[in-house]
């Protein structure tokens, strides 16, 4: 029996179609990784292609590792020469070899988000940018978006003419890139952008890789941005044997720069492309798939596909309604405990998914009360913890002395009596002589302005130089232990009064374990390789398997995962989809949110519960929201409890609570605030409490949503500022039954329609 006999007909087509461009539209749970791995095996075993000529790219280390293991299991000998890697790892590998052609040393440092913020904070200070009106994170976001679109600082500056805000960002962008180059560092966006720049500038390098990679495969193609698209296009330009696999219905990373047009327009770029649809799902029951199909069918910007399975109908979708978010959390924790108690599921079989990180708090509290073990995915990354960043900064300084950020982080850790004034004078000397901060430290005797403080700098420099000399005969485990002992880092923690000192020491022990594990799986491990691997770790790569804990995570974090039992919490308009999405009046934004709902639904293998709370506290205000439109898009025959229709009278608006299969209500309590049905134009959160756009006490007693409030202090033609969209001009102001509806033409975001109470526009 052939290994290909286990594939369905469409999967076989994806495996055997090897020449020319191929687009595989792989629905959720349709076995795309299986197709990719068997395709690689077919190229090697049946067509005689050398593994050296094959590249397979995906987005996370976890996905790349799983694919590599499967390829090794199927192919065996020869699989080690195949490039199965992530976009960023691919680019790092290329730049480690040819980065010097762009003016970098090949041992450049990779800056994480904390490093970026530190650099930008210094730049804003030097450029005298008011970070109250133009925040560092907004500047970094604009720079990241520019790099995703392959826009250089010079091009960004040209495009910013006439726009003061963009001009300030352009200045910061130029200074930011100069600071990174000086420190021999790149951020994550640079890795892709610089590789594209290298390929376009150096035909010899590009030609070498084009000649090598005759067959290229890209997983999760719907998540690619413009820079990644261009990288792949350049590599595939010689042979056109490009196979991309993805699902436009799972394109949910627009906020990270993902461009859904890459997958939707693939046939426009490659008119000769073969399109193959994988629609048989091997993960979920038919009821779950029917719910997902029904929801996503409401999107217009998609390629049609319908998921199906031979696993049977399975359980109905559970819809559960609560008076407030506390009851929602209480139910979810209680239901997980009940399933565990009855042997229906283990803790590790369950996941709770939500739209925003803020929703995790109440759930955590209830899980603690119930004694249920859990993990929150997307919390503080292990490598972002202070003690870990400190020790990594020592390793970075030993590996790359040009990384000013790393050197400055540890120069006074532990305390060496080196003050900010001394550091400033050393930096001035470095700037004057156009050298790195560390090289300036080594020349401390020549810096007259620091006086006796120079004596405090020498021991630090001598220590780093000693570590560097030992690196020639030290292993990485020996090096990190020497650093910890020489600096007295753990001793200081043990002697401190910090409540979390114990946890921090445990984290350091875990770092040592990580280093030992790294050395065990690498034949000739180097410090640079270790730092590179650490820099490329993503949150999703840290999701532990087999630890039997309930996972709490955002819907974005859940992509690529699956669980027997899934709870979707906060299924309310204003939460999911978000209020800003609703009032934006942008169909593309709603479609992105709907794709997110589709992803959430298809994480469930057997059991799916949709939870709705009539009241929820957001930013200190209690809001009443309608049931999410995505819940309403699920056919009623697929659910075990109907979505209640909004009522208009106090008699009709009696407390609503769901019924368990036994028919007993779940802790039904009186509804504190009652709200009538709203028109589409009025579809926004209600707020309990006084003020504009709130429900008055009189309105509550009568069972109607009477609203009190006054006209805003701006009018048509006025200039206003919004916390998200920036500056714009009011073009329309229309009084409504509950609030003023304001239309603003924003300078960057375009036209937006919103309600005054929630827009919180500031006239200037």
Q: How large is the angle between the packed helices 286-296 and 587-601, nearest 10 degrees?
A: 180
- Active-site entry in 175, 187, 190, 220: 220
The beta-strand segments (E) located in 28-171 are 54-58, 83-86, 109-111
User: Who contacts 485 (Cβ-Cβ below 8 Å, separation ≥6)?
Assistant: none
Handedness of CA 407, 411, 413, 414 (dihedral sign): positive
Distance between CA atoms of residues 36 and 303, nearest Å: 21
Helix (H, G, I), strand (E, B) or coil at 694: strand
Residue 554 per-residue DSSP state: E
115 and 148 Cβ atoms separated by less than 8 Å: no
279 in active site: no
User: Who contacts 646 (Cβ-Cβ below 8 Å, separation ≥6)?
Assistant: 626, 675, 676, 677, 678
251 and 260 Cβ atoms separated by less than 8 Å: yes
Distance between CA atoms of residues 672 and 325, nearest Å: 13
- Active-site entry in 32, 34, 70, 277: 32
Distance between CA atoms of residues 587 and 240, nearest Å: 34
Q: Report the greatest alpha carbon distance in the chain.
A: 86
H helical segments located in 488-551? 489-495, 501-521, 527-535
- Active-site entry in 18, 33, 344, 743: 33
Helix (H, G, I), strand (E, B) or coil at 497: coil
- Active-site entry in 86, 222, 224, 250: 250
Up-side HSE of residue 65: CA atoms within 13 Å toward CB? 9
446 in active site: no
219 in active site: yes
Distance between CA atoms of residues 370 and 330, nearest Å: 9
Q: Examine residue 414 and say whether the peptide bond preceding it is cis (omega within 30 degrees of 0).
A: yes
603 in active site: yes
649 in active site: no
Residue closest to 382 by CA, chosen among 491, 544, 555, 517? 544
601 and 266 Cβ atoms separated by less than 8 Å: no
- Active-site entry in 603, 616, 629, 738: 603
- Active-site entry in 112, 122, 136, 219: 219
114 in active site: no
Distance between CA atoms of residues 460 and 467, nearest Å: 11
How many CB atoms neighbour CB 742 within 10 A?
23
Active-site residues, by number, are 32-33, 219-220, 250, 603
């Amino acid at each position: 029996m052939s290994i290909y006999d286990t594939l369905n007909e469409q999967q076989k087509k994806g495996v055997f179609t090897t020449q020319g461009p191929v687009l595989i539209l792989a629905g959720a749970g349709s076995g795309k990784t299986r197709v990719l791995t068997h395709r690689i095996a077919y190229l090697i075993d049946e067509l005689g292609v050398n593994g050296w000529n094959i590249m397979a790219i995906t987005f996370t280390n976890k996905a790349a590792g799983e694919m590599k293991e499967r390829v090794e299991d199927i192919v065996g000998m020869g699989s080690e020469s195949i490039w199965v890697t992530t976009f960023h790892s691919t680019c790092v590998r290329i730049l480690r070899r040819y980065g010097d052609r762009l003016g970098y040393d090949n041992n450049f440092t990779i800056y994480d988000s904390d490093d970026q913020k530190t650099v930008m904070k210094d730049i804003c200070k030097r450029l005298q940018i008011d970070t109250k009106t133009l925040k560092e994170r907004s500047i970094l976001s604009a720079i990241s978006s520019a790099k995703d679109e392959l826009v250089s600082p010079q091009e960004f500056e040209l495009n910013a003419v006439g726009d003061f805000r963009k001009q300030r960002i352009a200045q910061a962008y130029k200074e930011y890139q100069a600071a990174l180059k000086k420190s021999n560092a790149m951020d994550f966006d640079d890795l892709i952008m610089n590789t594209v720049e290298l390929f376009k500038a150096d035909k010899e390098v590009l030609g070498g890789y084009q000649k090598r990679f005759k067959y290229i495969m890209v997983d999760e193609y719907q998540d690619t941005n413009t820079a990644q698209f261009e990288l792949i296009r350049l590599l595939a330009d010689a042979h056109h044997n490009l196979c991309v696999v993805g699902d436009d219905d799972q394109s949910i990373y627009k906020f990270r720069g993902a461009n859904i047009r890459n997958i939707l327009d693939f046939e426009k770029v490659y008119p000769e492309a073969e399109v193959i649809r994988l629609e048989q799902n091997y993960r979920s029951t038919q009821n779950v798939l029917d719910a997902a199909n029904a929801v996503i069918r409401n999107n217009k910007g998609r390629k049609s596909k319908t998921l199906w399975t031979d696993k049977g109908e399975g359980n109905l979708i559970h819809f559960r309604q609560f008076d407030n978010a506390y009851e929602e959390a209480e139910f979810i924790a209680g239901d997980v405990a009940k399933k565990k108690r009855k042997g229906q599921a283990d803790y590790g079989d369950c996941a709770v998914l939500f739209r925003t990180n803020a929703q995790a708090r109440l759930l955590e509290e209830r899980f603690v009360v119930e004694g249920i073990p859990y993990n929150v995915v997307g919390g503080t990354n292990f490598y972002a913890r202070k003690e870990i960043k400190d020790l990594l900064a020592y390793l970075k300084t030993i590996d790359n002395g040009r990384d000013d950020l790393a050197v400055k982080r540890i120069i006074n850790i532990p305390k060496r009596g080196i003050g900010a004034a001394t550091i400033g004078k050393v930096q001035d000397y470095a700037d004057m002589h156009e050298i790195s901060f560390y090289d300036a430290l080594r020349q401390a005797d020549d810096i007259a302005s620091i006086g006796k403080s120079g004596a405090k700098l020498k021991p630090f420099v001598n220590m780093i130089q000693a570590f560097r000399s030992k690196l020639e005969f030290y292993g990485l485990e020996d090096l990190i232990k020497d650093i910890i002992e020489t600096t007295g880092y753990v001793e200081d923690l043990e002697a401190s009064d910090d409540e979390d000192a114990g946890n921090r020491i445990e984290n350091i022990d875990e770092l040592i374990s990580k280093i030992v594990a790294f050395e065990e799986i690498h034949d000739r491990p180097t410090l640079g390789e270790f730092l590179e691997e650490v820099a490329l770790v993503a949150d999703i790569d840290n999701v532990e398997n087999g630890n039997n804990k309930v996972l709490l995570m955002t819907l974005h974090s859940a992509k690529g995962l699956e669980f027997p039992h899934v709870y979707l919490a906060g299924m309310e308009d204003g939460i999911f989809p978000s209020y800003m999405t609703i009032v934006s009046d942008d169909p593309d934004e709603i479609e992105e949110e709907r794709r997110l709902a589709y992803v959430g639904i298809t994480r469930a293998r057997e059991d799916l519960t949709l939870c709705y709370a009539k009241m929820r506290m957001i930013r200190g205000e209690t809001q009443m929201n309608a049931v999410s439109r995505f819940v309403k898009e699920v056919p009623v025959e697929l659910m075990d409890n109907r979505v209640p229709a909004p009522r208009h009278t106090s008699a009709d608006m009696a407390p609503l609570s769901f019924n368990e299969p036994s028919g007993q209500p779940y802790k039904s309590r009186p509804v504190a605030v009652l709200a009538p049905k709203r028109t589409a134009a009025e579809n926004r959160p209600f707020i309990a409490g006084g003020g504009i756009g709130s429900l008055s006490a009189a309105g509550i007693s009568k069972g109607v949503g009477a609203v009190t409030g006054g006209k805003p202090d701006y009018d048509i033609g006025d200039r206003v500022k919004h916390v998200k969209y920036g500056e714009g001009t009011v073009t329309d102001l229309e009084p409504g039954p509950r609030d003023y509806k304001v239309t603003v033409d924003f300078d960057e975001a375009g036209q937006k329609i919103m309600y005054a109470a929630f827009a919180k526009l500031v006239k200037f």
